[in-house]
Structure 1
Amino acid sequence: MDERKVRKIIMFPLPFPGHFNPMIQLARIFHHRGFPVTILHTSFNSPNPSHYPLFAFRTIPHNNEGGEDPLTQPEASSMDLVAFIRLLRQTYAETFRQSLAAEVGGGETMCCLVSDAVWARNTEVAAEKVGVRRVVLITSGVASFCAFAAFPLLRDKHYLPIQDSRLDELVTEFPPLKVKDLPVMETNEPEELYRVVNDMVKGAESSSGLIWNTFEDLERLSLMDFRSKFQVPIFPIGPFHKHSENLLPMIKNKEDHVTTDWLNKQDPKSVVYVSFGSLANIEEKEFLEIAWGLRNSERPFLWVVRPGLVRGTEWLEALPSGFVENIGQKGKFVKWVNQLEVLAHSAVGAFWTHCGWNSTLESICEGVPMICTPCFTDQFVNARYIVDVWRIGIELERTTMDRKEIEKVLRSVVIKEGDLIREMCLKLKERATVCLSIDGSSSIYLDTLVNHVLSFDPYDVAS
């Protein structure tokens, strides 16, 4: 029997869509290579196991025995993201250790633990105690991780905390980044942000390997920079979704069909697809400026307005009376779409995005130009690389965003500059395809990763 058939991989994602989805894609890749996979998942934001029949799921309870889950209380929902991550790590540190010990003691031979980088030191201590090697999945790009790793230097050089007077200043140690591109977020607990980042970097550095959802031809220089500073083995095997897209049939629901039918009626490369991810929030004023900018551009648009995107509202009630009816078939508001399917549709000509890493890769893989409006952390780094390094998008900052500027940018990226940017997009799309081919770098790294985890002695935690 193949050795990997009896060596299980345990995976521990962070319970946010931008982190959970690439972990599930990676789980499919491992499963396709013959490994049984068990997903340990927090009781907060727990997935529906029936949607992922290939894997076993174990729910980790919160540590507030006999009491209410602190992550479902009203005050938790109003926290900033840094405070929420602190609470998340506190809530599940001990119960994760117990759950991991139960899995390891269950009689099956463990291959390794694959944990999200943000769990960091939580999983490091737990894995050492039960004698399982730990591999880390980093859900950001390599360039942004290198910026995170440089936080001590950036603080010493007084780039951090960011000062408004220096926003457009070049960070000479990290070109092409400007001060405003550094991967921070607004928080009431800035020192906690530095602790989270430091734990993430140290936890990655002490692991038995790092898996990246990126590919060599996209981030070659950043990978070289990382290798020069860290000794841990790295495996850039992305784009994950292109490995796993043919491993499971795509199940379409009624909303998917409605969206596809609408796209089918649009001209090729005419639609501006708009989505700002699963975590960002915007003010009602921003929402209205975006809506009027889209309308006035006279370009067909598909906008994912998820419930809760606009602070203080449920969905579209902030729009003026008759706005949606006036647009008619020219624009479409939806609560959710299958983004991979939308970006692959021939009608989509541009993607107005928050520049999350998953969205960035998905757009690159379909050759779709991007309009970049980053909101926090690594999204700022991704946007700078999209615009100035890969030259596959155009910048539209939130600080300068009004309906006239939006209209101008939408017209330029779809009509005037679109062909030049699209040409660069198609070149990167080709490179991604080559990396995934049999002799491509991502495929070679994947073979190396499989051999690497199979080489672990499950009872030897020495690096």
Structure 2
Amino acid sequence: MAPTQESTATMLVPPPPPHFVIVPLVAQGHTIPMVDFARLLAERGACVSLITTPVNGARLRGVAEQAARAKLSLEFVELPFPTDFDGLPPGIENVDQVTDNNHFVPLFEALRKLAGPLEAYLRAQAPRQSCIISDWCNPWTAVVARRLGIPRLFFHGPSCFYSLCDLNAVDHGLHQQTAAADDHEKFVVPGMPVHVEVTKATAPGFLNSPGWEALWAEADEAMRTADGAVVNTFLDLEDQFVACYEAALGKPVWTLGPFCLSNRDADAMASRGNKLDIQQSAVTVWLDTMDTDSVVYVSFGSLARKLPKLLFEVGHGLEDSGKPFIWVVKETEADAPEVQEWLEALEVRTAGRGLVVRGWAPQLAILSHRAVGGFVTHCGWNSLLESIAHGVPLVTWPHFADQFLNERLVVGVLGVGVAVGVTAPVMIFDDEAVQVARGDIVRAVSALMGVEEEADERRRKAKKYGEKAHRAMEKGGSSYENLTQLIESFRQSGGKEG
């Protein structure tokens, strides 16, 4: 029987766009890539709700305004943050506001209280959302997704290389082996396609310190009961580790990055996740005066804070290297009068060659500038991927969490980095024990920026990976096509009341 006019019209109506709910961890290194991801989804026609809190929402105003100007279907939803929570000073809603290591567990416990407000918000929306994508460190979203019958993916911030190491360490009992070991004993991470050695101190693991046991168990269960994973990486960088991770996890792994390459203009680069265009103009003007690939960029991320003694070693090392540099010093690091005085003297001695940026810096704009030829980094995955995506080789100085294994990937597997020589992690506010001296900085920076064949090979590899990163995000590239498949796979799906 021929279709009626009404049925033909129905057949021609496209299904509604899928609605993704993005729930980042309240830490800049986790929020920034998930904000980039949310914008990518919206640019490709999906509806997106990004869940945040008032303090963090204020930081994202620039992104929200930019999305509104572009008429993207991207909504920033601020849930009220729990107040009067035991052990957590009022006003703290982001990891980078913490000034005492004892406040971290209470902060994570407070975040779990967002489950009720999130569920109430989602129930009030119609139609039902297509998928919740939450940070691995937000396992409290699992019960919300289950109660509402909404599919859930987890976003994991590190590389697939690290995530595979971590999963294999748990599944093969590596942590039990390292528990009784001395600090120098080495262990091979099982199940890896390449040889990976760790010590007790550098073994993989998030939330696995004393006091975090319950949170870790909850996060592990939420990971294993999710419908898949989203990772900010690309196949040409980590293909063998992606395949192994997917097999070990037993569920789809969507590699959709580098998300940072979705920031194609100056406004996007400046506004992603913090303040809008504060230092960018002055930094760009300074970089414009420098030779191509001549400048070393130095930044240790949003969390790690250096005490004066180590800060002075970094500065003297950069000065003694003789290389042009941009050095980002946090406001909390520069507050002390002796540090202020010392930094001013350094700036006088290195005038015309060195630029000290106090506070926030437009990292993406810096790394994408033609003058920047090297990056001294804490080895957070966002920073490493941003550097690789722009063809910039690295000096690696890991501090904690995934950073030591990220260093192993960058230096030992990809061949685009020089290690500064750190062998043990530090807590965020405790770097006095770190044995890094100005001579280590000089050695590593000189090796990275040198004219030797080995330095040239690192630069060549970095540029090649940068080209592959851009291809991955372009139409027809692996990440672009994976995002297409992700959106289409949830176009017809929707939750049901639990």
TM-score (norm 2): 0.83
Instruction: Give distance in 1, aligned partners of 2:108 and 2:116.
Output: 12
Q: How far did 1:388 drift?
A: 0.4
Q: 1:217 is matched by which residue type in structure 2?
A: D
Distance 1:97 1:315, change over 3 A: farther
Structure 2's unaligned 5+ residue stretches are 1-12, 68-73, 271-275, 423-433
Q: What is residue 178 of structure 1 aligned with on the other side?
A: 198
Q: What is residue 440 of structure 1 aligned with on the other side?
A: 477
Q: What is residue 159 of structure 2 aligned with on the other side?
A: 141
Q: What is residue 150 of structure 1 aligned with on the other side?
A: 168
For residues 237-267 of structure 1, the C-alpha deviation after alignment (integer angstroms, 9 at most, x for no partner) is: 1111224536975567352111011111112
Q: Higher mean Cα deviation, 170-179 or 404-413? A: 170-179
Q: 1:437 is matched by which residue type in structure 2?
A: E
1:409 aligns with 2:465: no
Q: Do the aligned residues in 1 keep the contact of 2:142 with 2:152 (CA within 8 Å)?
A: yes
Count of residues paired in the alignment: 453
Q: What is residue 391 of structure 1 aligned with on the other side?
A: 415
Instruction: Give distance in 2, aligned partners of 1:140 and 1:158.
Output: 24
Q: How far did 1:421 drift?
A: 0.5
Instruction: Give distance in 2, aligned partners of 1:315 and 1:23.
Output: 38
Which residue among 153, 160, 163 is the counterpart of 2:182?
163
Which residue among 205, 214, 225 is the counterpart of 1:206?
225
Q: Do the aligned residues in 2 keep the contact of 1:71 with 1:77 (CA within 8 Å)?
A: no
Instruction: Give distance in 1, aligned partners of 2:227 and 2:337.
Output: 44
Q: What is residue 125 of structure 1 aligned with on the other side?
A: 143
Instruction: Give distance in 2, aligned partners of 1:319 and 1:161.
Output: 44
Distance 1:319 1:260, change over 3 A: same
Q: Higher mean Cα deviation, 405-414 or 173-182? A: 173-182
Q: Do the aligned residues in 1 keep the contact of 2:128 with 2:496 (CA within 8 Å)?
A: no
Q: Higher mean Cα deviation, 52-61 or 405-414? A: 52-61
Distance 1:177 1:315, change over 3 A: farther
Distance 1:142 1:199, change over 3 A: farther
Distance 1:444 1:246, change over 3 A: farther
Q: What is residue 351 of structure 1 aligned with on the other side?
A: 375
Which residue among 46, 49, 58 is the counterpart of 2:77?
58
1:325 aligns with 2:337: no
Instruction: Give distance in 2, aligned partners of 1:254 and 1:73.
Output: 23
Within 5 Å, give how 1:357-396 maps onto structure 2. 357-396=381-420
Q: Higher mean Cα deviation, 392-401 or 26-35? A: 392-401
Q: What is residue 104 of structure 1 aligned with on the other side?
A: 123
Q: How far did 1:231 drift?
A: 1.9
Q: Do the aligned residues in 2 keep the contact of 1:148 with 1:201 (CA within 8 Å)?
A: no
1:429 aligns with 2:428: no
Instruction: Give distance in 2, aligned partners of 1:28 and 1:176.
Output: 35
Instruction: Give distance in 1, aligned partners of 2:164 and 2:414.
Output: 18
Instruction: Give distance in 2, aligned partners of 1:314 and 1:277.
Output: 23
Secondary structure of the residue aligned to 1:136 is strand
Distance 1:163 1:84, change over 3 A: farther
Q: How far did 1:128 drift?
A: 1.3
Q: Do the aligned residues in 2 keep the contact of 1:133 with 1:460 (CA within 8 Å)?
A: no
Q: 2:439 is matched by which residue type in structure 1?
A: K
For residues 145-198 of structure 1, the C-alpha deviation after alignment (integer angstroms, 9 at most, x for no partner) is: 1222234334455224763222x555465522322542358x9x8233454444
Q: What is residue 299 of structure 1 aligned with on the other side?
A: 323
Q: How far did 1:435 drift?
A: 2.3
Distance 1:402 1:184, change over 3 A: farther
Q: Higher mean Cα deviation, 151-160 or 384-393? A: 151-160
Q: 2:310 is matched by which residue type in structure 1?
A: E
TM-score (norm 1): 0.88
Distance 1:387 1:359, change over 3 A: same
Distance 1:146 1:196, change over 3 A: farther
Secondary structure of the residue aligned to 2:91 is coil
Q: Do the aligned residues in 2 keep the contact of 1:117 with 1:204 (CA within 8 Å)?
A: yes
Q: How far did 1:351 drift?
A: 0.4
Instruction: Give distance in 2, aligned partners of 1:254 and 1:190.
Output: 37
Instruction: Give distance in 2, aligned partners of 1:404 and 1:65.
Output: 47
Within 5 Å, give how 1:284-295 maps onto structure 2. 284-295=308-319
1:234 aligns with 2:253: yes
Q: Do the aligned residues in 2 keep the contact of 1:305 with 1:315 (CA within 8 Å)?
A: no
Q: Higher mean Cα deviation, 432-441 or 248-257? A: 248-257
